Structure 1
Amino acid sequence: MTVKKTFPKILWLIFSSSIFFIILYFALFYYTKKAEKQVYKVSVEQFDNEIHKLLDLESKPILVAINNDTNWDEFVSFISTKDSTWFNETIGNELEIYDADYLGAYDAQKNFLIRTPTPSIKTIDFIPKHAMDLLNVEGIKKFYLKIPDGIVEVTGAAIHPSDDPLKNKTKTSGYFFVVRLIDSDFLKNIQKTTSSSVQFIDVKEKLPPEKHTISSIYQLKDAENKVVGTLLFKRNFEVYFENTTNLLYAIIITFFINLLINLAYTRKLVYYPLDLIRRVLETGNKKAIQELKKTTGEFSYIGNLFEENNKQKIELINAKIKAEEGDRLKSSFLANLSHEIRTPMNAINGFTDLIINTNINETEKLEYLNIIEKSGKNLVSIIDDLIEMSKIDSNQLKPNFAVVNLESCVNELYETIKVTIVNKAIEFLLIKSSKPAEFNIVTDDIKLKQVIINLLTNAIKFTDEGFVTFGYEIDEKNELIHFTIRDTGLGIDEEEHKNIFDRFKRVDSDVSIKVGGLGLGLAISKAYVELLGGTISLESKIGEGSTFYFSIPLKYSKSDHITVRSINNEEVVKSEKEVILIAEDDNINFLLFQKMMQNKCYEIIRAINGKEAVDICLNNPNIDLVLMDIKMPIMDGFEALEQIQPIRPNLPIIAQTAYSSSEDKERIEAAGFSDYITKPLSRERLFELITKYLDKSTNNELH
Structure 2
Amino acid sequence: MLLDGGDMLLGLLNDVLDFSKIEAGKMRLESTEMNVRNKLAALRRLWEPKATSRGVRLSVVVDEAVPDAIRTDPLRFQQILFNLLSNAVKFTRDGAIRVNVGWDEATSTLTAEVHDTGCGIAPDQIDSIFDSFEQASAGDTRRYGGTGLGLAISRRLAQAMGGDLTATSAPGEGSTFTLTVRVEAVDPADAVEAAPVVRPATVSLQGRSILAVDDHEVNRRILALLLEPHGCRLTLVENGAEAVEAAGVEPFDAILMDMQMPVMDGLEATRRIRAGGPNVATPVIALTANAMDVHKAAWDAAGVHAFLTKPIDAPLLARTLGEACAERRPAAKPEAEAAA
Same fold (TM over 0.5): yes
Determine if contact 2:100/2:113 at 8 Å carries over to the other structure: yes
- Residue of structure 1 equivalent to 2:281: 622
Deviations 1:314-349 (A, max 9, x none): xxxxxxxxxxxxxxxxxxxxxxxxxxxxxxxxxxxx
SS of the residue 2:60 aligns to: strand
Determine if contact 1:412/1:567 at 8 Å carries over to the other structure: no
Determine if contact 2:169/2:175 at 8 Å carries over to the other structure: yes
Determine if contact 1:385/1:521 at 8 Å carries over to the other structure: no
- Residue of structure 1 equivalent to 2:318: 687
For 1:640, give the aligned amino acid: H
How far off is 1:440 after superposition? 6.8
- Residue of structure 1 equivalent to 2:80: 451
- 1:75-94 equivalence runs, <5 A: none
* Residues 514 and 443 of structure 1: CA distance in aligned 2, closer, same or farther (over 3 Å): same
* Residues 586 and 433 of structure 1: CA distance in aligned 2, closer, same or farther (over 3 Å): farther
Structure 1 unaligned spans of 5+ = 1-372, 658-676
- Residue of structure 1 equivalent to 2:310: 656
SS of the residue 1:490 aligns to: coil
Determine if contact 1:444/1:532 at 8 Å carries over to the other structure: no
- Residue of structure 2 equivalent to 1:588: 218
Deviations 1:15-37 (A, max 9, x none): xxxxxxxxxxxxxxxxxxxxxxx
- 1:197-596 equivalence runs, <5 A: 373=1, 377=4, 379-380=5-6, 382-395=8-21, 398-399=28-29, 404-422=34-52, 424-439=54-69, 441=71, 443-445=73-75, 447-475=76-104, 477-508=106-137, 514-530=143-159, 534-555=163-184, 556=186, 559-560=190-191, 562=193, 573-574=204-205, 577=208, 588-594=218-224, 596=226
How far off is 1:380 after superposition? 4.5
How far off is 1:472 after superposition? 3.1
Determine if contact 2:79/2:154 at 8 Å carries over to the other structure: yes
Determine if contact 2:32/2:72 at 8 Å carries over to the other structure: yes
Determine if contact 2:56/2:95 at 8 Å carries over to the other structure: yes
For 1:656, give the aligned amino acid: K
* Residues 463 and 643 of structure 1: CA distance in aligned 2, closer, same or farther (over 3 Å): same
In the superposition, the TM-score normalised over structure 2's length comes to 0.65
Query: Structure 1 or 2: larger helix share?
Result: 1
* Residues 552 and 686 of structure 1: CA distance in aligned 2, closer, same or farther (over 3 Å): farther
For 2:98, give the aligned amino acid: T
Higher RCO, Cα 8 Å, sep 6+:
2
Determine if contact 1:536/1:550 at 8 Å carries over to the other structure: yes
For 1:687, give the aligned amino acid: A
Determine if contact 1:473/1:481 at 8 Å carries over to the other structure: yes
Structure 2 unaligned spans of 5+ = 234-252, 275-279, 330-340
- Alignment partners' CA distance in 2, 1:573 and 1:500: 46
SS of the residue 1:419 aligns to: helix
- Alignment partners' CA distance in 2, 1:400 and 1:578: 47
- Alignment partners' CA distance in 2, 1:473 and 1:566: 28
How far off is 1:400 after superposition? 6.5
- Residue of structure 2 equivalent to 1:604: 255
Determine if contact 2:158/2:181 at 8 Å carries over to the other structure: yes
- Residue of structure 1 equivalent to 2:295: 640
How far off is 1:512 after superposition? 6.4
For 1:523, give the aligned amino acid: A
For 1:546, give the aligned amino acid: S
Identical pairs, percent: 17
SS of the residue 2:283 aligns to: strand
For 2:232, give the aligned amino acid: K
For 2:190, give the aligned amino acid: S
Determine if contact 2:115/2:175 at 8 Å carries over to the other structure: yes
SS of the residue 1:539 aligns to: strand
Q: May I ask how many residue pairs the two structures share in their alignment? A: 294
How far off is 1:585 after superposition? 7.2
SS of the residue 2:102 aligns to: strand
Deviations 1:101-137 (A, max 9, x none): xxxxxxxxxxxxxxxxxxxxxxxxxxxxxxxxxxxxx
- Alignment partners' CA distance in 2, 1:563 and 1:398: 23
Deviations 1:42-84 (A, max 9, x none): xxxxxxxxxxxxxxxxxxxxxxxxxxxxxxxxxxxxxxxxxxx
